[in-house]
Structure 1
Amino acid sequence: MKFELPVLPYAADALAPVISKQTIELHYGKHLQTYITNLNNLIQGTEFENADLETIVKKSEGAIFNNAGQTLNHNIYFLSFSPKGGGEPKGKLAEAINKEWGSFENFKKEFVASGVGLFGSGWVWLAKDSSGKLYITKETNAGNPVTKGYTPLLGFDVWEHAYYLDYQNRRPDHLNELWKIIDWDVVGARY
């Protein structure tokens, strides 16, 4: 299977000022493309050559895992945004968040605190188990909750390349601003 850069449902400048055009061009256009290119090259002639992305992330290790994980992570990340995003989730996802954290505001606070508290590079995720119970997970480097048997619903990238051009070393500011562009219809459909 050959992986390709996903088509964004918005223009490169559409998420500004939360994420600048320059950050989209570099983070999505160059950084993610490099992971995809590396992954395609690494899986040739291996047991993963015709596997889907989640299977590769669940079963691989080393360079294949790193590039597959980052491809999956970034695909979820970039496709969770909309220039008309923001607000709060609705329906079953909103009910599950309220059940687990008491309110959407409590969930946001814990999610951001998890992302701020992750030392070094990685991801903070909203994920669900097979029964629909929600979790906030912190994953280092290319980690993804699929390796724990969870379904990733929403991931925030806390690698510096995701925010440094726009926020420098202010990771909390970056994480708090991302709520303004979340497409809850897309995220809710994953639930």
Structure 2
Amino acid sequence: MAVYSLPDLPYDYGALEPHIAGQIMELHHSKHHQTYVAGTNTALEQLEEARATNKLDTVNQLQKNLAFNLAGHVNHTVFWNNMSPEGGDRPDGELGTAVDEFFGSFDGFRAHYTAAALGIQGSGWSILAWESIGQRLVIEQLYDHQGNLAAGTVPLLMLDMWEHAFYLQYKNVKPDYVAAFWNIVNWPDVAARFEAARTKTSGLITP
């Protein structure tokens, strides 16, 4: 059976400082993300065993474990690439035009995305996504790693609002964390996902 593995970051742990501390990045990537990878592989192994032994009374819980951990792995894989030491500013080209079309302006989009992030109750993610039926950009709030999303939307820009993503540096001052995030957004990566989502696939875009 193929197994999932922890992807390397496209930059050093300290590369996003001062916006995100290297200590946070190291813990977040090497511990938290690794836990989701391991949890995914374990759930898949246990599901295979349940099928092989016909002990399917465990499937309901194992499917929940798989959904949580695999979503955590997917979300973080997108998140790492959504950030760059050379990030910030605002999108241009077709993505910039689409942001203006669907949100009125970049400032309007940024305010909406920020409000979605800060409005999450508990743990979750703020997401800019492409919705293929309506052929439009939408902002979504993802709860935990896998709840509250429309099926088939493609994440383009993801912001982790779990406390482990910011608490060591920003404590409970979430607005400062979200404000710092805008300085490291990797707009070329977001634009590449936007292009692929519109023209190549209706599925998830990962590196």
The one-letter code sitting in structure 2 at the alignment partner of 1:114 is A
**CA distance in structure 1 between the aligned counterparts of 2:94 and 2:172, rounded to whole angstroms:** 35
Which consecutive residues of structure 2, in runs of 5 or more, have no partner in the other structure? 49-61, 195-207
1:177 maps to 180
**CA distance in structure 2 between the partners assigned to 1:169 and 1:83 by the alignment:** 24
Contact (CA 8 Å) 2:141, 2:149: kept in 1 or not?
no
How far apart are residue 132 of structure 1 and its match? 3.5
The answer to whether the aligner puts 1:163 opposite 2:166 as a matched pair is: yes
- Superposed, 1:32-111 pairs within 5 Å as 32-44=33-45, 46=47, 61-111=63-113
Amino acid at match of 2:10: P
What's the Cα RMSD here? 1.6
Return the offset for 1:5: 1.1
Q: Read off the aligned partner of 2:187 and give its amino acid letter.
A: W
Aligned 1:124-163 pairs, distance under 5 A:
124-130=126-132, 132-143=135-146, 148-163=151-166
CA distance, structure 1, for counterparts of residue 25 and residue 181 of structure 2: 14
Letter of the structure 1 residue corresponding to residue 155 of structure 2 = P
Give the drift of 1:144: 6.5
Report the Cα distance in structure 2 between the residues aligned to 1:189 and 1:21, rounded to whole angstroms. Answer: 26
* Whole-angstrom CA distance in 2 between matches of 1:146 and 1:187: 19
The answer (yes or no) to whether the contact 2:43–2:63 under 8 Å persists in 1 is no
Q: Structure 1, unaligned stretches of length 5 or more?
A: 48-59
Q: In the superposition, relative to structure 1, how do residues 133 and 126 fare at CA in structure 2: closer, same or farther (>3 Å)? A: same
Specify the structure having the higher radius of gyration (Cα): 2
Seen in structure 2, the aligned counterparts of structure 1 residues 96 and 72 have a Cα distance that, compared at 3 Å, is: same
Q: Decide whether aligned partners of structure 1 residues 147 and 63 sit closer, same or farther in structure 2, where only a CA change above 3 A counts.
A: farther
Matched to 2:102, the amino acid is E
The Cα offsets for residues 26-71 of structure 1, whole Å up to 9 and x where unpaired, read as: 0111100011011111112647xxxxxxxxxxxx941110001111
Aligned AA (2:77): N
**Aligned twin of 2:10:** 9
TM-score w.r.t. the length of structure 1 is 0.89
C-alpha distance in structure 2 between counterparts of 1:19 and 1:29, whole Å:
15
Compute the displacement of 1:181 (Å): 0.6
TM-score by length of 2: 0.82
Letter of the 1:148 partner, please give it.
Answer: A
The separation in 2 between residues aligned to 1:107 and 1:151, in whole angstroms, is: 17
Number of equivalent positions = 179
Give me the whole-angstrom Cα distance separating, in 2, the residues matched to 1:144 and 1:80: 21
Q: What does residue 116 of structure 1 align with?
A: 118
Counterpart contact for 1:145–1:152, Cα < 8 Å: no
- 1:8 shift after superposition: 1.1
* C-alpha contact (below 8 Å) 1:125/1:145 kept by paired residues: no
AA aligned to 1:98 is D
Identity of aligned residues (%): 37
Equivalent-residue separation in structure 2 for 1:177 and 1:37 (angstroms): 30
Q: Is the 8 A contact 1:146 1:152 kept in 2?
A: no
